[in-house]
Amino acid sequence: MTSSKRSPDFLKAAGDLFMKRGFRLLVYVSIAGILFPSARLILLISVLVALAVFFYREREKYGKSYLTYIGGFVIFLIVGYFAALVDVHRVNELRFPLSTIGDGIERVADGTYTGVGQGFRGPIEVEVKVHNHRIVSIKTLEYQDLISVLDNEIGEFKRTVLETGKLVRPAQPGLFRGATQTLTGYFDAVQAALNKGVADYPVYGFFSRVFLGAFIGKAPDRVTLNALAILFAAFMVFEYTLQSMLVPGTGRSINCYNCATCVGACPIKEAEGIQFPMGLVLLTRLGDYDRVLELSKYCVGCGRCAAKCPIGNSGPLVISAAFQASRARHRNAESSGGSERLS
């Protein structure tokens, strides 16, 4: 009995939550964080800055406790980051005498190992086979950089390594853009693979592993940043389309192409710096229904804009939608026992 009563309440609460733009943005950011772990720190900082600005502006309403939580989390991130750096430094010091470069190949047990390095455009992964303490083969498993670098500079590096059976530092490839980073990434990948064959090779502590894995992973590369920019644009288009679909009567605002025909027809034309009624349509698209209601007092309801707009927008249409959205907001606020914003 209790569960059947709770179920509709839960669905209503989930529906109300989904109506809030802040919550939806949090969902998008979480999806991006899952898709691109290396961008998590950037995303986290963006969210924290946005939250800090929001709670600072609304401090009269929410008090200062949320700002304190956000500040505490930022301090945790900074302290955690430096603690992880200290651990990384400590482990690197321990690893130094166990280097697998040159004659260090003697420390590597026979076997096949994989390793990852950071190239110019993305990660490079290799598989290295060691037999009788000699490198006998190197296979490239993942590579996103220029094929010409793979064929020339990396090809030469591999030939040298296989001839000597040891990992040797590659010669600098000259001024060719990005080739140095690609070659360094390839070298790092081979070294990371060989390190796995060294007994008792020092590893980072639990906290550093969890912290770096959760918040940083590795430095975001060019592919990640480009993908994030595309994803951000897609999310914004989706968000504004979704919002106009979720709020009754605002669907057409998304189609406004700023032709200003309605402004030409309107006897008001401008109020408080907003072009009438085109500005109301754009505010509706952004979800700022409170501002639309504030400006609605200037509309005389003559209907001229409705007759002129090629896609059927009008001042009265968006004002009526904003009014209904505002009423829904107040109903939600009353049922939850406090005041709330719709978006």
- Kindly report the number of other CB atoms within 10 A of residue 275's CB atom: 18
Which residues is 137 bridged to in the sheet? 129
**DSSP state for residue 247 in the 8-state scheme:** S
Q: Where along the sequence are the contacts to ligand SF4 (CB under 6 A)?
A: 256-262, 265-268, 276-278, 281, 299-305, 308-311, 313-316
**47: CB partners within 8 A, 6+ apart:** 26, 29
In angstroms, give the least distance from the CB of 252 to ligand SF4: 8
Alpha-carbon gap, residue 190 to 169, rounded angstroms:
11
The amino acid at 266: C
Answer yes or no: are the C-beta atoms of 318 and 274 closer than 8 Å.
Answer: no
Minimum gap (Å) between residue 212 Cβ and ligand SF4: 49
DSSP 111-176: EEEEEEEE-SSSEEEEEEEEETTEEEEEEEEE--S-HHHIIIIIHHHHHHHHHHTSB-PPPP-TT-
Residue type (1 letter), 223: V
Of residues 210 and 259, the one with the C-beta less far from ligand SF4:
259
Least gap, CB of 280 to ligand SF4 (angstroms)? 7
What's the closest the beta carbon of residue 321 comes to ligand SF4, in angstroms?
Answer: 13
Quote the least distance from Cβ 230 to ligand SF4, whole Å: 27
Q: Among all residues, whose Cβ is closest to ligand SF4?
A: 315
In the complex with ligand SF4, which residue's Cβ is closer, 19 or 266? Answer: 266
Q: Which helix (H) or strand (E) holds 123?
A: strand 123-131
- Between 205 and 316, CB nearer to ligand SF4: 316
Structure tokens at 5: 């009563």
> How near is the Cβ of 339 to ligand SF4 at its closest, in Å?
29
Which residue, 185 or 277, is less far from ligand SF4 as judged by CB? 277
